[in-house]
């Protein structure tokens, strides 16, 4: 059969072509199957966009490695449903297909007791058809019961089909017949055991792509396997026959008209290298809409900050793995400390916050000097210190009250001084604590923030950068 590769074939051109690949649980191959399908579709010459449900940074890195383009996060807690629809619309236009990767199990959301912020929540918010990936190791007929449960759990389940993972061709033929006859849901193929494509995990999830030996070869091999075993034509037809997606006009107008008074040329230096790689592309795009020129730099490899900047951003990553290299780059540490001390506005999240402090315990257990712009030492612990979504309140951002901020944390490290500027509260819980350092020129702490959820955070930062430029 000739593969479908014409975007005008069987396609509703008034809609964003999209499909969500989800699973019954974590750890059954969602990311590799998503990457394999994306690679196979790209090999057909299709213009693909990738999205990740939830706050995860690692999976989008694999999407980018496959596609060579940015992958975007769709998070209904941090960005609300309106922000998710805006992101999908803005990045999905003029694409042949948008492939969304789920998070955890399909219905798993906030605090383990809610569907909010789950992959299902994204599918429901964007009216996206979902394909359920099922791990078939050690099961046969029981797999039919599992699919049946997922179909019946929610009336508007959005599940249009399944893909069977880790199954032999002979067993697949039997399972496909049972599922389609008994459940009236389409089976879009299978993935056999491909041992050479298994990824190892680290405490924050998968290895990053650069750490996987011969990742390009592995993904190319996996895509060839899937071209033979997965019904890619069927997936394209499903994605192309979706309904239109409506955007909230207030969100669109706010993002298109981000405070004209702030739209004056500012240069913001953003750390981006192997140590600082946890970046939401939407955050940078919002800063650009506020008139910022983004200049990337490496705290490991560059000797100093870029010239003529009015702002610094140090997002998260794995600085503890590169503590020695970061510490040995004296000139960069001094450059950042000097700039922050002079009042250059700075945002530092998680790993960036750790780097901004005086000392850090590396993954080797040794203590290393860091930038020294903030007091204290960060050190590793034996257990997960913070995990999950939070709501930040009762604080200011660069001197401005921006209201509540939705964020998330995931770290094993702790610091001697985590700050007291905000009250962090877990949703659907009474748990809370104080966190973050906030002044007229600094916003630093362990929480990760997506500006789509509260664009006023980015506006306050851009305003501080503008004020610094006018003062300079």
Q: Give the residue numbers marked as catalytic.
A: 350
Q: How many CB atoms lie within 10 A of CB 378?
A: 28
Tell me if residue 273 falls in helix, strand or coil: coil
Which has the closest alpha carbon to 48: 29, 77, 78, 21?
Answer: 21
| CB within 8 Å of 223: residues ≥ 6 apart | 36, 37, 39, 40, 43
* Cα–Cα dist 368/336, whole Å: 16
* Cα–Cα dist 274/271, whole Å: 10
For CA atoms 386, 392, 394, 397, the dihedral sign is: positive
For residue 175, the Cα-to-chain-centroid distance in whole angstroms is: 34
* Cα–Cα dist 314/269, whole Å: 9
Q: How is residue 70 annotated by DSSP?
A: -
For residue 284, the Cα-to-chain-centroid distance in whole angstroms is: 13
Q: How is residue 2 annotated by DSSP?
A: P
Tell me if residue 52 falls in helix, strand or coil: strand
Determine how β-strand 432-435 pairs with β-strand 422-425: antiparallel
Q: How is residue 222 annotated by DSSP?
A: H
* Cα–Cα dist 29/197, whole Å: 10
Q: What are the strands of the beta sheet with 359-361, ordered from one edge?
A: 367-369, 359-361, 377-380, 413-415
Backbone angles phi, psi at 438, to 5 degrees: -140, 125
- Do residues 113 and 95 lie in contact, with contact meaning Cβ atoms separated by under 8 Å? no
- Do residues 455 and 255 lie in contact, with contact meaning Cβ atoms separated by under 8 Å? yes
Quote the Cα angle for 453-21-160, to 5°: 110
């Amino acid at each position: 059969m000739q593969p479908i590769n014409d975007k005008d074939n069987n396609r509703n051109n008034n809609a964003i072509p999209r499909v969500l690949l989800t699973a019954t649980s974590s750890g059954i191959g969602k990311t590799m199957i998503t990457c394999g399908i994306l690679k196979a579709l790209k090999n057909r010459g299709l213009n693909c966009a990738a999205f990740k449900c939830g706050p995860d940074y690692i999976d989008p890195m694999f999407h980018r490695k496959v596609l060579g383009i940015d992958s975007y996060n769709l998070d209904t807690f941090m960005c609300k449903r309106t922000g998710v629809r805006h992101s999908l619309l803005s990045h999905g236009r003029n694409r042949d297909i948008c492939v969304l990767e789920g998070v955890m199990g399909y219905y798993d959301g906030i605090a383990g007791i809610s569907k909010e912020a789950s992959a299902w929540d994204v599918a429901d918010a964007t009216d996206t058809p979902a394909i359920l990936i099922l791990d078939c190791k050690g099961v046969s007929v029981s797999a039919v019961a599992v699919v049946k449960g997922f179909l019946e759990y929610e009336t508007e389940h959005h599940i249009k089909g399944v893909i069977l993972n880790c199954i032999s061709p002979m067993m697949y033929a039997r399972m496909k017949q049972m599922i389609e006859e008994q459940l009236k849901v389409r089976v879009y193929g299978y993935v056999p055991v491909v041992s050479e494509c298994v990824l190892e995990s680290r405490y924050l999830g998968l290895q990053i792509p650069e750490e996987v030996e011969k990742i390009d070869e592995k993904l190319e091999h996996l895509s060839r396997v899937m071209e033979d075993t997965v019904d890619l034509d069927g997936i394209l037809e499903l994605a192309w026959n979706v309904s239109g997606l409506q955007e909230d006009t207030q969100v669109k107008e706010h993002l298109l008209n981000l405070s004209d008074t702030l739209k004056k040329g500012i240069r913001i230096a953003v750390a981006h290298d192997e140590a600082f790689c946890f970046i939401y592309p939407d955050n940078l795009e919002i800063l650009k809409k506020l008139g910022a020129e983004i200049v990337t730099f490496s705290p490991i490899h560059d000797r100093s900050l870029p010239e003529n900047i009015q702002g610094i951003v140090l997002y998260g990553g794995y600085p503890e793995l590169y503590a020695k290299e970061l510490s040995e780059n004296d000139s960069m540490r001094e450059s950042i400390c000097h700039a922050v001390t002079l009042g250059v506005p700075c945002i530092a999240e998680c790993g960036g916050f750790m780097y901004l402090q005086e000392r850090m315990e590396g993954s080797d257990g040794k203590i290393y000097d860091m930038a020294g712009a903030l007091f204290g030492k960060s050190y590793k612990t034996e257990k997960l210190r913070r995990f999950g979504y939070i709501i930040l309140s009762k604080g200011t951002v660069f001197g401005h009250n921006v209201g509540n901020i939705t964020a998330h944390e995931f770290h094993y490290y702790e610091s001697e001084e985590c700050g007291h500027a905000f009250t962090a509260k877990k949703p659907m819980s009474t748990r809370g604590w104080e966190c973050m350092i906030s002044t007229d020129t600094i916003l630093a702490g362990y929480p990760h923030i997506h500006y789509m959820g509260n664009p006023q955070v980015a506006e306050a930062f851009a305003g501080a950068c503008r004020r610094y430029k006018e003062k300079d």
